Structure 1
């Protein structure tokens, strides 16, 4: 495990934390809604791309310069820091707010003015707290303002795929109040953007569980026309990969972020948040009745939970889809640019 310390005075600024994959829903929340912390306690993740201010327009920087910043479609381009470190606010230590840099929209602070947390000991600006509406609660450490140090605690081993407890990662698509999971609303369009590029703009049929749950809601994001390719779920614990599969939807490892890879086969792979993937492939509850026999005489049960049903239609996070497309170099291929031009007009 690691701790992060102020690069100026050496004061420790975090609790011991272990590195995990950057969540795919990091930047995508629901407007006018307060969110919980993005990161689990005692974890951190690193964003390799530039993030945050200053921002410049696509027209101002040009296509070549935008590509150097990891943006391949017309949109605002960040020239902020690369390698920023994100952790839960509860894992931050010995930092104080910089009052004049704590602007936000209505419910908190959004980081629009750059770092708003300073080292309590020396006053150096070291991090940005973000918790406004529509934002997951985070503290982003500036990579040039902190140093990573060993904490002295033993390292947390990275589990192999067959060691993962998939049930512990699965997230239900519907919340207890009937709203769709914010994580699903972000993770599904992120995967769809990868799917469009993997299919090179050709129409594709979604796998059964995903099509049954979200088919109509996500149809507008996929290339139009009768399907010529088929996507299917693949990963640890699923049937062995068979030859001839067109596209594989595979889970991202929760610690490394790397997609699962089949032992053989050459089918294109599309990474999917393990929270969504695990929910789709794991068997669900089948019956409230005992597996064998009957309930004892005189025993009545009324506590069996009814299946959760959404109170409205699934709405993929449009910016998650757009931003992911913009980060994929393959979108510059002519056949995919034609797809994007059609999508942008809808």
Structure 2
């Protein structure tokens, strides 16, 4: 576990934190609604890509520069902010004071502006920006050059695969699910070879099937999609959905030649290890392995589930194969197209 301290005066600015992969949904926005924290308590992530202002139009940036950044189709807006910003939950920050006037062009809260909106309480150095505006995940983004990471020597908590339901407490589709499956969809499409892959019966078909039917034609030599991970070998599938690696976002590596497609732990666990998901646990009066049949009906969102198109396109833009004509044509195509 690590603590971040002010590079100027050495004051501690966070509680001890464990590094985890950057959530796919970190930079996605969601209309006018208030959002929960992006990061789980006690965790932090590092964004290796430039983020925040200043921004430049794609058309003004030379192709050699965008290619060097790993971008192969247009992305809007194109950030030229700092790389390696550190994101933490607001409740994990210590020893800072807020500077509201440094917020960017926000609505009902704060967002990243030209200057960081949080200062070290010890020396006054501008160290981070608070984000809590409507439609934006609540987070604190720490400027990488203003802090030092200090290992604490404390062991990281054991990794747990806790299933995350696809419906959030408000009764709508989980934005984490939408973003995670949008990014995974891009990798599945890129690995498909232009032919609709074969999905197993069950939840994977419900999640990805309708969109893949719209994007890709059926044909011979279709590749198969499955699930793999700790305790799951993949059953010979060509493309396997797997959990992320523990820190930087690489994927769990399957045995054999299957192509891994990473998913957030909670989404992967729900797909791979569904088990008993009812909010009403048995009191112990039923035999082992027998489920109750008197649960209330689950929430039903007002529209069908659809992977997030922004996450899909952002991920596809960073896959080198997107330069192939068939895949480039799909990069700007909406899911509702026939």
Q: 2:182 aligned to 185, 189, 210, which one? A: 189
Q: Structure 1 stretch 13-22 or stretch 330-339: which is displaced more?
A: 330-339
* Mapping for residues 1-346 of structure 1, pairs under 5 Å: 1-75=1-75, 76-151=77-152, 153-156=153-156, 164-166=159-161, 168=162, 170-215=163-208, 217-219=210-212, 222-226=215-219, 228-238=222-232, 240-243=233-236, 245-263=237-255, 265-285=256-276, 290-291=286-287, 304-312=294-302, 313-340=304-331, 346=337
Query: What is the CA distance between 1:165 and its match in structure 2?
Result: 3.6
Deviations 1:130-163 (A, max 9, x none): 1111211111111111111233x52326x5xxxx
Change (3 A) 1:230 1:275: same
User: Gaps (5+ residues) in structure 1?
Assistant: 295-300
After alignment, is 188-197 or 213-222 more displaced?
213-222
Cα contact 1:69–1:78 (8 A) shared by 2: no
* C-alpha distance in structure 2 between counterparts of 1:344 and 1:147, whole Å: 43
Give the distance between the partners of 1:190 and 1:286, measured in 2 at CA.
25
CA offsets per residue over residues 24-50 of structure 1, 9 Å max, x none? 222234221111111111211111111
Deviation digits for residues 169-201 of structure 1, max 9, x if unmatched?
x10111244211111111111100111112233
Q: Separation in 2 of the partners of 1:216 and 1:267?
A: 20
Task: String of CA shifts for 1:94-135, please: whole Å, max 9, x gaps.
Answer: 222233212343221121434211222222211111111121
Q: More deviation in 313-322 or 46-55?
A: 313-322
- In the superposition, relative to structure 1, how do residues 201 and 105 fare at CA in structure 2: closer, same or farther (>3 Å)? farther
Q: CA deviation at 1:53?
A: 1.0
Q: Could you give the per-residue CA deviations for residues 54-97 of structure 1, whole angstroms, max 9, x where no partner exists? A: 11111101221112233221123211111111101111112222
Q: TM-score, normalised by structure 2?
A: 0.86
What is aligned with 1:298? none
Distance of 2:58 and 2:199 partners within structure 1? 33
Task: State the TM-score, normalized to the length of structure 1.
Answer: 0.84
How many pairs are equivalent?
A: 328
C-alpha distance in structure 1 between counterparts of 2:58 and 2:3, whole Å: 37
- Residues 91 and 283 of structure 1, relative CA distance in 2, 3 Å threshold: closer
Contact 1:197 1:330 in 2 (8 A): yes
Match of 2:178, SS state, is: helix
In 2: Cα distance, 1:127 partner to 1:281 partner: 37
| Distance apart, 1:341 and its partner CA | 5.6
